[in-house]
Structures are given as structure tokens and as C-alpha cells.
Amino acid sequence: MSANNSIETLTAALETITDSIATLKVAVEEMQKQQKVAAPVSDELAPFHAWLQVELTPYFGTKGAKLISDKLNRSRAIADFRYFIPVYQELVKGDLQKRQMLKAISAVYRYKFGGYKNPEKYALRSEIKYAAACPECGALAQVMMNRLIAEGLWK
């Protein structure tokens, strides 16, 4: 009887574990659905944002690069780049070179994610070209412009 009793105990434990796993699967699926709804980020964005953070880190540090990338992504999601303005106040603090870099970063971002398709593209292209020509802060703008060329967005 004790062998039979232990088999029943093991069976009950396995049923409990199976129920727990099923509950966890449902919870994970629900969380994934919520994440998809909360942060609509296309597959195209992930590599660009990762690349952008790597490129910005030497100039703005890890936290600054992440802040810039996150604010740009959020600005794009709500279709209002005024949301990016506090980044200037937070990271620049009177440094004109960094301010010009942020302007170039914003212009490249807006150009990449839709600006090359609308009438605003000529103003953005001009802003990016002049930023790339700057001897102090042009290196970053040139790297970003090369990325646009590599993606076939800059002709």
C-alpha cells in the first residue's frame, strides 16, 4: 500500500506542477500581448537603436545615449518631436557642440523614419549635410549619414 500511496502522491504532485506550468504559460502570453501593445517597436527599429546607442556613448555616456534613443523612439511613437526638447536641457547645459550634435541626431532620426518621404526631407538633408561639414561635431553626423547611405535612404 505504501508504494501505491507514493504513486498517488507523485501523481498529485505532477498534476499540480502541470497546472502551474499551464498557468505560467497563460501569464507569459498575456505579458507578451501587453508588451506588444505598450511599446509598438518594429523590427526595423531595434538594430538602428542599438547602433545609435553604441555611436552616441562616446559623446554622451551610456545613460545619455540611452536617454536620447528612448526619447527619439517615444517622440516618433507619438508623432511629436517636441517631446525631445527636454533632452537638450538635460544633456547640453550650455555646450554648443553637444547641442549641434543633438540637432544632427534628431535630424537624422526624423529623416530615417519618414522624413525622406515627405516635403520636409530637403530641410532635413540640408541640416544633416551642414552638420557633417562641421569640423568639431561633424564626425558623428558623418557616421550617421553613412548609415543612411548604407540603408539606401540617402542618394
Domain assignment of residue 32, yes or no: yes
Check whether residue 129 and residue 82 sit in a common domain: yes
Check whether residue 16 and residue 60 sit in a common domain: no
**CB-CB neighbours of 105 under 10 Å:** 26
Check whether residue 73 and residue 126 sit in a common domain: yes
Tell me which residue range forms the domain holding 116.
45-150
Domain assignment of residue 155, yes or no: no
pTM of the model: 0.67
Q: Give 17-71 pLDDT, tens digit per residue.
A: 887 777 667 666 766 766 555 445 555 545 888 899 999 999 999 999 999 999 9
Check whether residue 34 and residue 89 sit in a common domain: no
Check whether residue 65 and residue 9 sit in a common domain: no
CA-nearest of 103, 107, 112 to 45 is 112
Examine the pLDDT at 98 and tell me if it is beyond 80: yes
Check whether residue 34 and residue 73 sit in a common domain: no
- Counted domains in the chain: 2
Q: Give 116-154 pLDDT, tens digit per residue.
A: 677 777 888 889 999 999 887 788 999 999 888 888 888
pLDDT given for residue 45 in this prediction: 46
Check whether residue 69 and residue 139 sit in a common domain: yes
Q: Give the list of residues 6+ apart from residue 66 with CB closer than 8 angstroms, or none.
A: 53
Q: Report d(CA 11, CA 29) in Å as an integer.
A: 27
